[in-house]
Amino acid sequence: MSKQITDIELAEIVTMLLTTDYIDDAAAFSEFMGDVAKLVCYYCGGEVLHPASKFTSEWLVGIHANDCLPEGENVWSKYDPEGEL
Q: Which pLDDT belongs to residue 77?
A: 92
pLDDT at 85: 78
pLDDT of residue 74: 93
Q: Where are the domains of the chain?
A: 7-79
pTM metric for this prediction? 0.90
- What are the b/e assignments for 21-45, b being 16+ CB within 10 Å? eebeeeeebbebbbebbeeebeeeb
What residues contact residue 54 under an 8 Å CB cut-off, 6+ apart?
26, 30, 60
Q: How far is CA 58 from CA 9, 26, 28, 38, 66, in A?
A: 25, 12, 15, 19, 25
What residue ranges of the chain have pLDDT lower than 70?
none
> What is the Cα–Cα distance from 8 to 27, expressed in whole angstroms?
27
pLDDT of residue 82: 84
Amino acid 71: pLDDT: 84
Confidence at residue 10, expressed as pLDDT on a 0 to 100 scale: 98
